[in-house]
Amino acid sequence: MRTNILIFSANRSATPPAKVPAVYELTINWHVTEACNYSCQYCYAKWKDYPNPRELFHDRRRTRDLLNELFRYFHPTNTNNPLREELSWKTVRLNLAGGEPSILGNRLLDIAEIAREVGFQLSIISNGSRLTRSMIKEIAPHLTCLGISLDSANPTTNMEIGRALRSGKLLDPQELAGNIRLALKINPRLTVKLNTVVNLLNVGEDLSGLVQEIRPQRWKILRMLPIVDASLAISDEEFAAFVQRHRAFQSVQCVEDNRDMCESYLMIDPFGRFFQNHPSLAGGYLYSDPILSVGAHAAFSKMAFNSASFQSRYTGELGGTQ
Ligand code: SF4
């Protein structure tokens, strides 16, 4: 496995090599808003109930233009995409992330419909706080994957992390489990995923009961990335002990240490730019020009990717090549 970091160049050959690793699905993460109704200490999201009016999702036409451009550029048959030199894939999934995407309410449902019309498979990652039964009924039919971020089963820990509404209201695990059952009833092919960010406040916890209740098909365990705030960072040994404590869920676990996360996601920010993380970058993130101004190809050519981590995530998450 190579460990090189690539900066894709617009001038690279358009012809992919005969043999490249193959995965079923390529995932593009669109962080539709920076606003979130939670305030996790380790997160860049702003604790706001209302998104920035300049965020692109407000404009339906620009939203459709952005999604069309992304779908065209990352379509598996687009020979002009240099990523094809590293990977081949069969379908493209748009993952709606934030901030907290569910605070968009009806606009989120509208974006979901546009994304499906454009041709994307669709998923969402949410803190669950606004995934009401009525929203689940509307959005579940569009989704192939429903991701929920859960860090702790302990109310005190959730409060300390910042996983609570301004009013102090916490997520009710029973209510969440009921809503997930409803989503599965509406869409039995839905994959349910949990994301847990392991940090100083939850590193000693046993989440087995919570995971058994939700019964996810995938459980992503991420070591907190100390880009925004290093005060909750944990050691290698602490992270390994957390993973080991939950080895009973090994078959669904997808473990990501900090080095696995760097430059290994395809991410679009709320203003329609590619962005990428790396600890050596000032401010933690590198941004491209706006995709709608320069086109996906020119914007993507400025992005660096760790191709080894990129490939191994897809291989690990999606059940292997082909
Ligand atoms: S719930 Fe997610 S987006 Fe919101 S503050 Fe926490 S980590 Fe950030």
Q: Does residue 5 carry a pLDDT above 50?
A: no
Instruction: Specify the 3-state DSSP secondary structure of 125.
Output: strand
The torsion angle over the Cα atoms of residues 59, 113, 217 and 198, rounded to 10 degrees, is 10
- 26 alpha carbon to ligand 1 midpoint, in Å? 24
Q: What whole-number percentage of the chain has pLDDT above 70?
A: 85
Q: What whole-number percentage of the chain has pLDDT above 90?
A: 72
- List ligand 1's pocket residues with C-beta within 6 A: 36, 38-40, 43, 45, 98-100, 127, 149
How confident is the model at residue 13, as a pLDDT? Answer: 42
H-helix or E-strand spanning residue 308: helix 307-317
pLDDT in tens, 129-188: 999 999 999 999 999 999 999 999 999 999 999 999 999 999 999 999 999 999 999 999
If pLDDT is split at 50, 70 and 90, which confidence band does 304 have? confident
Strand pairing of 191-198 and 285-290? unpaired
Q: What ranges in 52-161 are assigned the alpha helix state H? A: 60-73, 106-118, 133-139, 155-161
Nearest-angstrom CA–CA distance, 277 and 264: 8
- 149 alpha carbon to ligand 1 midpoint, in Å? 8
Q: Which amino acid is at 241?
A: A
How confident is the model at residue 22, as a pLDDT? Answer: 83
DSSP category for residue 26: E
Q: Phi and psi of 37, rounded to 5°?
A: -90, 0
- 234 alpha carbon to ligand 1 midpoint, in Å? 19
Q: Does residue 305 carry a pLDDT above 80?
A: no
- 28 alpha carbon to ligand 1 midpoint, in Å? 19
In a mutational test of the pocket of ligand 1, which residue from 30, 38, 42, 197 has the highest number of ligand atoms less than 8 Å from its CB? Answer: 38
pLDDT in tens, 174-220: 999 999 999 999 999 999 999 999 999 999 999 999 999 999 999 99
Instruction: Specify the 3-state DSSP secondary structure of 220.
Output: strand
Nearest-angstrom CA–CA distance, 123 and 80: 26
What's the mean pLDDT when you consider all of the chain? Answer: 88
In a mutational test of the pocket of ligand 1, which residue from 43, 129, 194, 232 has the highest number of ligand atoms less than 8 Å from its CB? Answer: 43
How big is the chain, counted in residues?
322
Q: Does residue 49 carry a pLDDT above 80?
A: no
H-helix or E-strand spanning residue 271: none
pLDDT greater at residue 217 or residue 260: 217
Q: Would you tell me how many other CB atoms lie within 10 Å of the CB of residue 309?
A: 21
If pLDDT is split at 50, 70 and 90, which confidence band does 70 have? very high
How confident is the model at residue 12, as a pLDDT? Answer: 42
From the candidate CATH numbers 3.30.365.10, 3.50.50.60, 2.40.50.140, 3.20.20.70, the one assigned to the domain spanning 23-317: 3.20.20.70
How confident is the model at residue 306, as a pLDDT? Answer: 65
Long-range pairs for 12-18 at CB < 8 Å and ≥24 separation? 12/82, 12/85, 13/85, 14/79, 14/80, 15/79, 16/79, 16/84, 16/85, 16/88, 17/85
Most confident segment among 64-68, 254-258, 304-308: 64-68
Q: Does residue 229 carry a pLDDT above 90?
A: no
pLDDT in tens, 18-47: 577 888 899 999 999 999 999 999 997 766
Edge-to-edge strand list for the sheet holding 121-126: 253-256, 218-223, 191-198, 145-149, 121-126, 88-97, 22-31, 267-268, 273-277, 285-290
pLDDT in tens, 266-300: 999 999 999 987 666 656 788 999 999 999 999 99
* Mean pLDDT value of segment 242-259: 94
Nearest-angstrom CA–CA distance, 320 and 322: 7
DSSP category for residue 121: E
Domain boundaries in the chain? 23-317
Q: Kindly state the tokens that stand for 189.
A: 């092919």
